[in-house]
A and B are shown apart, each in its own frame.
Chain A
């Protein structure tokens, strides 16, 4: 009975979600009751992956307090439950809209762009209102997030006014009439609530997006968020729209398996989206122009390739099979793999060092995993096998140095407190 109810609820959400399109008129908005508004808002919270940052460590929904590495220090996510003292219970819809649209808190203080208002500003007022309506309905949790750990002068919020002047352009998304409705919907999700660029767009020295390199991949928390452009090796050129949709739904497809925080994004956000929205995202990403190709790297050292080949045969080929052909949707192929050929090898090295547990879903319930090799292979061995898989079976990418592995190994140890 419980399950039947849950399914009914989901269908309900899906049906209403079609109303979320930006082309929606105010008149239609006014017609919906506050209950319907909140249901729409709930779906927008999925599109925006609010839960990733705003779920407390002990699992309280939207109670915040999760530390985000801003690049300069730790910024803790806000409590966005309706609690009046520690949450946003006293905020009006206008104040909520200003936060989303301008990056300003209820008391006019500046929010840090770790809260991705540079993306949320692209959302419509109607969507912000719906999200606000939903957040009024979640249980209030009394929980004060810890103070941010930022160095002076960044601890002065007012400085964000300067950052905004330099890098922030306010304004809701304007549909491009030359593009299809699907493309426009995808652009709205990707650049708005989905804030994909938050991880996938390279940042400048002040952690602002480099807008001429949108979605071309960026380092984050000892991972490298993949190049989502149409680049031929590291990007999505070889992926079909259906591949992208499947990946966003199940965390894996015939070409790759999600790792790192993308698993959380898929589990909490893209995997819960309606099919049409995943298709819209895919259509938008497939239309992205290729990023600048990586500089032609010199041919890998033959000795490293020989060593890497031997390590691959012993340690990797039992799952990824000979020729790196992999087992689609089970153990990802390495031949032709975009993440393997990324110009920044961090993700590959991270996975070799620490292993990776794939996301288990109702569709793909087996908790497949790659074991960690940090304890078994030394820096040189990991560098060699990484160089080998990045330059075999038609793959081409820069060689990896043992020093790169050592640095990441140390960073990972620091991140895990060891």
Chain B
């Protein structure tokens, strides 16, 4: 966003809660691959002693603070979670933008339960296509197109929406585990393809002139910065250019605590922030772009009194509405005779099938909508994190150790990565009890998986198991996601919703250009805008939405400031 705005000649001041981070100083190759420090001791993640959220599964419970990160791992510092992501870059399916209307049309009224508050995106895939493209070229995505301007391409994902051109870089070299999966999936009649990756298959210079290096498959993407300049991140794709621009200013270690409004409460005057010395400051602005992580976007709207907070009892209000997530499961294949060297990895190095994503398959009689992708992604099998053991092995002790030693090199793990639809009872609001270091109420998350998610995830896990059985291993172990959502074990940092986009201010927080319905000089970027989550990693779509929003801001709003949509 700042890159687009400064390129257009606007003065941009960015305020970042954390500190400055860059490749040579913050994650140099000489110390970056340190699983204990970064993954387990959270050196690049949010500090929950400073700020956290409270959590409960439903409104009948009392929410308690999350005192240790678990299920999701938001970042802190310049670059945010874009530093420690895997680089899995997807486009949503065209029909993912029309979840309500498409499912109603195809399956009838009963397809969408009464409490399922899914909506269509107020923007179409076709409208976002050029912006997806911009982001993929910015990041130098390695991949293989499956649908070039409507023509299906061999080797790519035949289910994907049309794309105007090929990926900027060829696919990564594939390792053994994903190859075994792809072969079995093809034999089962599915359509395996290579995972699109923000890990460079070759040296790349992006359209802004930033340079990225060839990935060496070290296996430290997820939860780590990249010291080789091989993973697209703000540090490798935009910051080198942005920091040279005289009309860009960055404040670090400054935390925005409130968006300030004028007396009419329809216009933002700027923001209040706490600076490095702990002093409260005001920064005036013509326009405020709210670009924090989704949880902070929603909380800032709530603490600033912008928009009507959502009430799950009445279904009224918009801020905090339609919080969603993703549901994952796995199926392990244990071999005796195959060494798959899982430590050779990259964040998005894998083979995928999309046959059960979105509405790529007939849901008649299945009792759920939505889907997800299934695949083997070798992110690196870091040693502390990765200890595959078959069923029946104890969780500790010498038998456990022996089993890990026997299986570490000979296990392939298939993952399913499923959508979470929005539900009336899943939402975000302010906690009535707990406060952060500044005395502000913590965000309260109320969330659980519903029957739709469990049916869908079980269905995906069964399909993954079908493929697993064809892979020729000694034994197959399916790990379904059972029971209520737990915030403790890591699942995925794919939180969405809470400030959703829509076509009218009664049901959504922002319009199709991510402009606040209530405060027209406030734009709320990020996955907080998703009316529900899809079966893909959200970064590609949120980036496309940011470019789409920037485009509208520069080409329309700048010429005539005011609401871009009249509802």
Give residues in A with beta carbon < 8 Å to B.
2, 315, 317-319, 321, 327-331, 355, 357, 360, 362-373, 375-376
What residues of A have a CB within 8 angstroms of the CB of B208 in the complex? Answer: 365
Chain A residues with Cβ under 8 A from B244's Cβ?
360, 362, 365
Count chain B CB atoms within 10 A of each CB in A331, A366, A367 and give the residue with the most: A366
Complex Cα spacing A368 to B211, Å: 8
Interchain CB contact (< 8 A) of A366 among B30, B227, B240, B246:
B240
Interface assignment of B289: CB less than 8 Å from any CB of chain A:
no
Complex CA distance for A373 and B244, rounded to whole angstroms:
29
Query: CB within 8 A of A367: which of B22, B214, B216, B246?
Result: B22
Q: State A331–B213 Cα separation when bound (angstroms).
A: 8
Alpha-carbon separation in the docked complex, A288 to B522 (Å): 63
Is the beta-carbon distance between B241 and A330 smaller than 8 angstroms? Answer: no
User: Which of B23, B24, B29, B236 is packed against the most chain A CB atoms within 10 Å?
Assistant: B24
> Chain B 215-235, CB within 8 Å of chain A: the 1/0 string?
010100000000111000000
A366 contacts B236, CB within 8 Å? yes
Q: A318-B216, A364-B209 are in contact. Are A330 and B24 (CB under 8 A)?
A: no
Also in contact, A2 and B213, with CB within 8 A (given A318-B29, A371-B24): no
Whether A2 pairs with B246 at a CB distance below 8 angstroms is yes
Q: How far is the CA of A131 from the CA of B229 in the complex (A)?
A: 43
Residue of B nearest to A377 (CB): B30
CB atoms of B210 and A371 under 8 A apart? no
Interface of B toward A, CB cutoff 8 Å = 22-24, 28-30, 203, 208-211, 213-214, 216, 218, 227-229, 236, 240-241, 244, 246
- From B23, B30, B203, B210, give the contact of A327 (CB < 8 A): B203
Q: B209 and A327: CB pair below 8 A?
A: no
A319, A328, A364: the one within 8 Å of B228 (CB): A319
Interfacial chain A residues near B23, Cβ < 8 Å:
367, 369
The answer to whether A373 and B228 touch across the interface, beta carbons within 8 angstroms, is: no
Interchain CA distance A321-B215 in the complex, whole Å: 10
Q: What chain B residues lie within 8 Å of A372 (beta carbons)? A: 30
CB within 8 Å for A376 and B30 given contacts A329-B211, A366-B236, A371-B227:
yes
- 18 CB < 8 A contacts A-B: A315-B30, A319-B29, A319-B228, A328-B203, A330-B213, A330-B229, A355-B24, A360-B244, A363-B209, A365-B208, A366-B211, A366-B229, A367-B22, A368-B229, A369-B23, A369-B24, A371-B24, A371-B29
**Which of A357, A362, A365 is the one whose CB lies under 8 Å from B24?**
A357
Q: Which residues of A contact B240 (CB under 8 A)?
A: 360, 365-367
Contacts of B227 in A (CB 8 A): 318, 371
**Given A2-B246, A327-B203, A366-B236, A318 and B211 touching (CB < 8 A)?**
no
Interfacial chain B residues near A365, Cβ < 8 Å = 208-210, 240-241, 244
- Nearest CB in chain B: distance from A375 CB, A: 8
The residue from B30, B203, B211, B229 contacting A364, defined by CB atoms under 8 A apart: B211
A160 CB to closest chain B CB, in angstroms?
43
Closest A residue to B28 by beta carbon equals: A371
Given contact pairs A315-B30, A367-B23, A376-B30, a sample of 15 additional A-B residue pairs in the complex whose CB atoms are under 8 Å apart? A315-B29, A319-B29, A319-B213, A327-B203, A327-B214, A331-B213, A362-B209, A363-B209, A365-B209, A366-B210, A367-B22, A367-B240, A368-B211, A371-B30, A371-B227
For A321, list chain B residues within 8 Å (CB): 214, 216
Q: Residues of A contacting B246 with CB < 8 Å?
A: 2
Write the chain B residue with the least CB distance to A328: B203
A19–B236 Cα distance when bound, in Å, is 42
Contacts of B203 in A (CB 8 A): 327-328, 330
When distances are taken between beta carbons in the complex, the residues of chain B under 8 Å from A318 are 29, 216, 218, 227-228
CB distance from B10 to the nearest CB of A (A): 14
A102 to B227, CA, bound (A): 51
**Residues in A neighbouring B30, C-beta threshold 8 A:** 315, 371-373, 375-376
Residue of B nearest to A363 (CB): B209
In the complex the two chains form, what is the Cα distance from A331 to B230 in whole Å? 12
**Closest chain A residue to B218 by CB distance?**
A318
CA distance A315 to B218 in the complex (A): 12
CB distance from B340 to the nearest CB of A (A): 21
| Chain A residues with CB under 8 A of B228 | 318-319
- Which residue of chain A has its CB nearest to the CB of B216? A318
Point out the residues of chain B lying under 8 angstroms from A357, CB to CB.
Answer: 24
Residues from chain A with a CB closer than 8 A to the CB of B209 are: 362-366
How many whole Å from A396's CB to the nearest CB in chain B?
Answer: 27
A327 engages B213 (CB within 8 Å): yes
Q: In the complex the two chains form, what is the Cα distance from A169 to B210 in whole Å?
A: 48
In the assembled complex, the Cα of A5 lies from the Cα of B210 at a distance in Å of: 26
A360 and B239 alpha carbons, distance in the complex (Å)? 12
Given contacts A365-B240, A369-B23, A376-B30, contact A317 B210 (CB under 8 A): no
Residues on A with C-beta less than 8 A from B211 are 329-330, 364, 366, 368
Report how far A373 CA is from B28 CA in the complex, Å: 11
Query: Least Cβ distance of B525 to chain A in Å?
Result: 24
Residues of A within 8 A of B229 (CB): 330, 366, 368
Measured in the bound complex, the distance between the Cα atoms of B213 and A321 in whole Å is 10
Shortest distance from the beta carbon of A333 to any chain B beta carbon, whole Å: 12
Per the bound structure, the CA–CA distance linking A2 and B11 in Å amounts to: 13
Kindly list chain B residues whose C-beta atoms are within 8 Å of the C-beta of A330. Answer: 203, 211, 213, 229
Q: Which 4 A-B pairs have the closest CB atoms?
A: A369-B24, A371-B28, A365-B240, A318-B216
Q: Tell me, rounded to whole Å, the shortest Cβ–Cβ distance linking B200 to chain A.
A: 10
Q: A236 to chain B: closest CB distance in Å? A: 24
CA distance A373 to B229 in the complex (A): 18
B241 partner residues in chain A, CB cutoff 8 A: 365
A366: chain B residues within 8 A (beta carbon): 209-211, 229, 236, 240
* Nearest opposing residue in chain B for A331, CB measure: B213
Residues of A within 8 A of B216 (CB): 317-319, 321
Q: What's the minimum C-beta distance from B21 to chain A, rounded to whole angstroms?
A: 13
Nearest CB in chain A: distance from B239 CB, A: 9
Distance from A367 Cβ to chain B, minimum over Cβ atoms (Å)? 6
Instruction: State the CA gap A376–B218 with chains docked (Å).
Output: 19
**Please, how many angstroms separate the alpha-carbon atoms of A371 and B30 in the complex?**
7
Contacts of B214 in A (CB 8 A): 321, 327
Min Cβ gap B226→A in Å is: 10
> Chain B's nearest CB lies how many Å from the CB of A388?
18
Nearest CB to that of B32 among chain A residues? A371
Q: Which residues of B contact A2 (CB under 8 A)?
A: 246
Nearest CB on A from B234, distance (A): 12
Residues of B within 8 Å of A373, CB to CB, are 30
In Å, the complex CA distance between A51 and B208 comes to: 30
CB contacts (< 8 Å) of A317 on chain B: these are: 216
Chain B residues lying within 8 Å of A319, measured Cβ to Cβ, are 29, 213, 216, 228
Q: Across the interface, which residues of B come within 8 angstroms of A364, CB to CB?
A: 209, 211
How many angstroms between the C-alpha atoms of A362 and B240 in the bound complex? 10
Distance between Cα atoms of A376 and B227 in the complex (Å):
16
Bound complex: CA A355 to CA B23 (Å): 13
Q: Tell me which residues across on chain B come within 8 A of A375, comparing CB atoms.
A: 30
Q: A369–B29 Cα gap in the complex (Å)?
A: 10
The CA of A363 and the CA of B208, in the complex, are separated in Å by 10
Nearest opposing residue in chain A for B217, CB measure = A318
Counting chain B CB atoms within 10 Å of each CB, which of A317, A363, A369, A370 scores highest? A369
CB of A376 to closest CB in B, whole Å = 6
Complex: A58 Cα to B338 Cα, angstroms: 63
Q: How far is the CB of B313 from chain A (nearest CB, A)?
A: 53
C-alpha spacing A2/B28, complex, angstroms: 36
Q: CA–CA, A373 to B30, complex, Å?
A: 7
Distance, CA A2 to CA B245, complexed state (A): 12
Residues of B within 8 A of A370 (CB): 24
Contacts of A368 in B (CB 8 A): 24, 211, 229
CA gap between A364 and B206 in the complex, in Å: 11
Q: Please indicate which of the listed interface residues A315, A328, A364 has the most CB atoms of chain B within 10 Å of its own CB.
A: A364
Tell me which residues across on chain B come within 8 A of A371, comparing CB atoms: 24, 28-30, 227
User: Which residue among A329, A367, A372, A376 has the maximum number of chain B CB atoms within 10 Å of its CB?
Assistant: A367
How far apart are the CA atoms of A315 and B213 in the complex, in Å?
Answer: 16
Closest residue of chain A to B210 (Cβ to Cβ) is A366
Compute how far the CA of A166 lies from the CA of B17 in the bound complex, rounded to whole angstroms.
63
